[in-house]
Amino acid sequence: MSLFEKHRSVLTNAVDALHKRDFFALYPENPSPKVYGETADADGQQRFKSHLGKKFEELLQEPGDRWVGEEESPYTLESLGISYPAASTETLISRSLNAFDQWRKITADTRAAVLIESLERLKDRFFEIAYATMHTSGQGFMMAFQASGPHAADRALEAIATGYEELQRVPRAVTWDKPMGKFNITLDKQWRAVPKGIGLVVGCSTFPTWNSVPGLYASLITGNTAIVKPHPTAILPMAIFVAELQKVLAEEGLDPHIVQLAPDTLGQQITKELAEHPDVVLIDYTGGSDFGNYLENLKGKAVFTEKTGVNSVILDSMENPDEVAQNLAFSVLLYSGQMCTAPQNFFVPEAGIKTPGGTLSFAEFAEKFTGAIESLVNNPKAAPHVLGAIQNQRTSDRLSETAKLPGRVLLQSKSVENPVFPKARTASPVVLEVAAENREVYSKELFGPVVLLIKTKSTVQSIQLARDLAKQHGAISCGAYVTDDELKETIADQMGLAATPVSFNLTGGIYLNQNAGFSDFHVTGGNPAGNASFTNPEYVVKRFTWVGFREPAKAAAV
Amino acid sequence: MSLFEKHRSVLTNAVDALHKRDFFALYPENPSPKVYGETADADGQQRFKSHLGKKFEELLQEPGDRWVGEEESPYTLESLGISYPAASTETLISRSLNAFDQWRKITADTRAAVLIESLERLKDRFFEIAYATMHTSGQGFMMAFQASGPHAADRALEAIATGYEELQRVPRAVTWDKPMGKFNITLDKQWRAVPKGIGLVVGCSTFPTWNSVPGLYASLITGNTAIVKPHPTAILPMAIFVAELQKVLAEEGLDPHIVQLAPDTLGQQITKELAEHPDVVLIDYTGGSDFGNYLENLKGKAVFTEKTGVNSVILDSMENPDEVAQNLAFSVLLYSGQMCTAPQNFFVPEAGIKTPGGTLSFAEFAEKFTGAIESLVNNPKAAPHVLGAIQNQRTSDRLSETAKLPGRVLLQSKSVENPVFPKARTASPVVLEVAAENREVYSKELFGPVVLLIKTKSTVQSIQLARDLAKQHGAISCGAYVTDDELKETIADQMGLAATPVSFNLTGGIYLNQNAGFSDFHVTGGNPAGNASFTNPEYVVKRFTWVGFREPAKAAAV
């Protein structure tokens, strides 16, 4: 059985799921022993530990000219001591160009099969990747497992399926037969999906695999080669992905340099050099807006970005304020607000929030919300796992600046003890009340666990502010609590114009921060928070070019 | 029967044709009385004449603040004397924004129906549009009829079908049901294809409708409003399209300002003002590269361009050199080389061209080719119709400069008498022999009937030059004459990397300049000749954003 036959049904199901958009996941998100095996967790942790203090020698790419690495665990504040082979930009590019001809000429079927096989192999390393993600990003274990393992793999599969489907959109060959009256003009036509060249994937420190693999697999399925440039502080998770990809490539007789790891250091980053190289024609990027804008403005490249935004929650009316407060408290604690989907600005009308038990005043809601946050922060069984750790010291430093903003502090941020990692860099959310007039305070992303409660004149003003912020500064998520159908439609319509998805009336175990593969588009691409979307057709079609070839049909020439 | 029901089968057939890519055309290209009626030609000519010297008062948009118009016939060198209502940029934008809410909120079905209805109405005006095109662009009658009428309408239908299909890619609503073990999380999800806003369509003087309607209909089907800014010297053909669109809109109770005409004058062009306006978020453009590059670099807009390129013909080996020479002679005469697909650089190896009758030396091929051109130029029954007229005096002026280029003139350009229009601005092709070393001569588009014969060391060098020119300077078409299959594959592969389609071994009544709707992609979007392609998925998906909305399912909440 060919590798393609082995994975054909996975591919078919994934393409089908793209259209249905009902729940679909190939990789179980539940890290229980029943699903992944009794020893999976311990084995994974052991494998993670075996990397510490060593050279990462699993890659099949030719050795570089030096070894680099400066990852540090946000949980222990100690160096991981892992080093990775670094090479010059010219070396990386020339290897990639060499590998390009081989990869672009094999069929989409074979490419899909190779890529899916790599995900199957990675499944056996989800726990190892989880610990690697924890100790680089600072995510709690559950998020690290789910986001960097099964969810990332499903997002990669989604990109493969979207790309694969696009590659089938135009027939490989047809006979074109045009009646001209007394005779026909008959041409044999062919079309080829020509990949663009080398794709650069620039990773971020908070979601090292989840944000990187869609672009990586999208570039690869469409026949491009790839260079993965992880964030210098979060290399290991992607190093494992690249290593598994290279192993499958080599086993299939293909050049492992079709995908390469390009590690660098904070002091000497190579992203610009790579990005500006004329042979790099695709760039996938997650990170700050300044660098993202610089990349988007590079000439002659297709650039896919997820940058920063300002996410709003519009509070108008609700059935159960306690459930809402609990749901939102979890949303703001989750990974200490370091998710790009974390809500920051909570708009509450000065007349209060309508509930079945009467109107909840601004102050009453504020009390309920901060109470729910405090209660979760003070729950030692939950808080350390939900909060995780702060990825880097700069975020902590900025957090202490936040309390100086013009506004009233309703809840102070504090360190939260982690029983397993006493040195962990932690912070609970700070909650500030900010006047609607102080627009400069809430018109930017305050990265980390920062909650702003903003009193507006009315829900109409709340909607207007949320929409305008999204249009001008970007937004990746939006929450809305509203019981009136007409108002709900207004919110959907207006936030839609700002290209911002809205989660309405969430309570219980689903949070506005979460986006599911094969169903929710992550980032829409339509506002300044990013120009790309996981995974819409635009995300893949810009990675190749349809080129046609034609010739008088042989039969007709007789 | 609703308008959608009336046009449903046309739409279904058009979507189907997109996938099959066999010959498909809804509108007959044959202007014979049998097809269009005995009086169609005379009536159309009469309708065209009735516009001359008058205000064009058919538009349903509110009157502007002045009337402008300076079209002049390349056949008579006389002013058409037609004036069109001009309005300020702010007026145009504010009307367009007003109309946007209405247009974006109606269904894709209704939008498709309105747009197809407009094409059906335009069918009755194809002859009028043909004469309008002749006397603005200088095209010969047959090309003017086909390109501006049926072919343009088919390209518009292709854009409608491509857009319509993309709008169905994601379901409007689903129930998302995620098993969580002991319970399910069930969400009602909705997705909307949110249009981006106002689309500006910037026309060119040589193909006033054919190059403009794909972008116009692509923006409209995806829910955007449109402002059509035709070239100041070729307004009438698009004025008729816009008028018919506005009439259908008004009949359907919609705001006619969903599409507006924005005429201007050569001395006071409003394109930059419109393009830079923050509410203009989509731009379609055909024209010179300098202005195209300026537009592409505007921030925060999706820009679709067709700019200039350098088209090559690679001559290696052929079955019948006489047929090839005749085919290529027709290609270079057609509309006096003013097609963006016209070939310019003919690469012939110094060892000559292999034929069944032995090798044809460079000189022998040159003689055969120039002979075929001369013979066609000197055929009074064919030449005036094939050549048409030179659109503007600057092209004629540049043509006389061409003879001064470093190279040997093999054939001089001359005026060709047009029996119907004695004052017609005409020019037959100039043919120069240029050394392969004089790369600066042939590395740019020499607009008009200019043919360069370039002697290369070998076909390998010919391919390399054609590929590199396409990559660096753009190319929209490429011809190749080659009998060896391996070499043919090399040409397809290498020109594919330069995103340039190749027509192999064309002889008889099909020419490398021609691109058929629903089959050939016009411009690939993958080289500097333009970033857009009629009509690939990228051409429509960049005009709207998928935005999702979700809420706990009502049933599950019980």
Q: Is residue B245 part of a domain?
A: yes
Same domain, A217 and A361: no
User: What SS3 string covers A497-557?
Assistant: HCCCCEEECCCCCCCCCCCCCCCCCECCCCECCECCCECCHHHHHCCEEEEEEEEECHHHH
Using a CB-CB cut-off of 8 Å, the residues of chain A touching B318 are none
Same domain, B153 and B171: yes
Q: Is residue A512 part of a domain?
A: no
Helix segments in A356-458, DSSP class H: 362-377, 383-387, 393-402, 439-442
- Cβ atoms B84, B261 nearer than 8 A: yes
> Distance, in angstroms, between B36 CA and closest chain A CA?
15
Average pLDDT of the segment spanning B182-191: 96
- Per-residue model confidence as pLDDT tens digits over B14-65: 999 999 999 999 999 999 999 999 999 999 999 999 999 999 999 999 988 8
Same domain, B341 and B303: no
ipTM computed for the complex: 0.97
B537 CB-near residues (< 8 Å, 6+ apart): A166, A169, A537, A541, B162, B166
Average pLDDT of the segment spanning B364-378: 98
Distance between CA atoms of residues A21 and B530, nearest Å: 34
Number of domains into which chain B is organized: 2
Helix segments in A52-191, DSSP class H: 89-105, 108-123, 126-137, 141-146, 152-167
Contact state of A22 with B497 under an 8 Å Cβ cutoff: no
Q: Is residue A440 part of a domain?
A: yes
Grade residue B403 by pLDDT with cuts at 50, 70 and 90.
confident
- Per-residue model confidence as pLDDT tens digits over B63-103: 888 999 999 999 999 999 999 999 999 999 999 999 999 99
Distance between CA atoms of residues A274 and A86, nearest Å: 13
Q: Does position B368 have pLDDT exceeding 80, yes or no? A: yes
Q: Is residue A552 part of a domain?
A: no
Same domain, B182 and B203: yes
Contact state of A549 with B504 under an 8 Å Cβ cutoff: yes
CATH of the domain at A181: 3.40.605.10
> Distance, in angstroms, between A129 CA and closest chain B CA?
23
User: Which one-letter amino acid corresponds to residue A85?
Assistant: P
At B469, list the tokens: 């020119």
Same domain, B297 and B317: no
> Distance, in angstroms, between A87 CA and closest chain B CA?
27
Which backbone phi and psi does B286 adopt, to 5 degrees?
A: -130, 130
Q: Determine the pLDDT at residue B556.
A: 47
Diameter of chain A by CA atoms? Answer: 88
Which backbone phi and psi does B320 adopt, to 5 degrees?
A: -140, 90
Distance between CA atoms of residues B126 and B130, nearest Å: 6
Q: Is residue A523 part of a domain?
A: no
B349 CB-near residues (< 8 Å, 6+ apart): B315, B316, B362, B455, B456, B457, B458, B459, B461, B462
Same domain, A372 and A292: no
Same domain, A389 and A455: yes
Q: Is residue B522 part of a domain?
A: no
- Asked whether the CA dihedral B74, B75, B81, B82 is positive or negative, the reply is negative
Q: Determine the pLDDT at residue A96.
A: 98
Same domain, B22 and B93: yes
- Per-residue model confidence as pLDDT tens digits over A364-402: 999 999 999 999 999 999 999 999 999 999 999 999 888
Distance between CA atoms of residues B308 and B305, nearest Å: 10
Q: Is residue A509 part of a domain?
A: no
Average pLDDT of the segment spanning B175-194: 95
β-bridge pairing B353-355 and B544-552 = unpaired
Q: Determine the pLDDT at residue A558.
A: 39
- Per-residue model confidence as pLDDT tens digits over B457-483: 999 999 999 999 999 999 999 999 999
Helices vs strands, H then E, count in chain A: 21, 19
Same domain, B341 and B471: yes
Q: Does position A24 have pLDDT exceeding 70, yes or no? A: yes
Average pLDDT of the segment spanning A247-251: 98
Grade residue B558 by pLDDT with cuts at 50, 70 and 90.
very low
Q: Does position A307 have pLDDT exceeding 50, yes or no? A: yes
Using a CB-CB cut-off of 8 Å, the residues of chain A touching B163 are none
The neighbouring-strand residues paired with A317 are A354
Distance between CA atoms of residues B430 and A285, nearest Å: 50
Q: What percent of chain B has pLDDT over 70?
A: 99
Using a CB-CB cut-off of 8 Å, the residues of chain B touching A505 are 551-552
Using a CB-CB cut-off of 8 Å, the residues of chain A touching B547 are 495-496, 499-501, 521, 524, 526
Same domain, B211 and B356: no
Q: Determine the pLDDT at residue A556.
A: 47
Q: Is residue B516 part of a domain?
A: no
At B159, list the tokens: 């854009």
Grade residue A352 by pLDDT with cuts at 50, 70 and 90.
very high
Same domain, B341 and B202: no
- Cβ atoms A466, A439 nearer than 8 A: no
- Give Rg (Cα) of chain B: 25
Helices vs strands, H then E, count in chain B: 21, 19
- Per-residue model confidence as pLDDT tens digits over B489-541: 999 999 999 999 999 999 999 999 999 999 999 999 999 999 999 999 999 99
Contact state of B521 with A196 under an 8 Å Cβ cutoff: no
Nearest to A541 among B187, B297, B541 (CB): B541
* Closest residue of chain B to A482, computed from CA coordinates: B551
B242 CB-near residues (< 8 Å, 6+ apart): B59, B228, B259, B260, B261
Q: What percent of chain A has pLDDT over 90?
A: 97
Using a CB-CB cut-off of 8 Å, the residues of chain B touching A509 are 180, 185
Distance between CA atoms of residues A513 and A462, nearest Å: 20
- Per-residue model confidence as pLDDT tens digits over A412-454: 999 999 999 999 999 999 999 999 999 999 999 999 999 999 9
Helix (H) / strand (E) containing A216: helix A213-221
Distance between CA atoms of residues B450 and B429, nearest Å: 6
CATH of the domain at B441: 3.40.309.10
- Neighbour tally for A78: CB within 10 Å: 11
Q: Determine the pLDDT at residue B555.
A: 59
DSSP letter assigned to residue B361 = P
- Cβ atoms B532, B525 nearer than 8 A: yes
- Per-residue model confidence as pLDDT tens digits over B143-158: 999 999 999 999 999 9
Q: Determine the pLDDT at residue A555.
A: 59
Using a CB-CB cut-off of 8 Å, the residues of chain A touching B507 are 552
Same domain, A178 and A260: yes
Average pLDDT of the segment spanning A17-30: 97
Contact state of A169 with B495 under an 8 Å Cβ cutoff: no
Q: In residues, how long is chain B?
A: 558
The boundaries of the domain holding residue A403 are 312-504
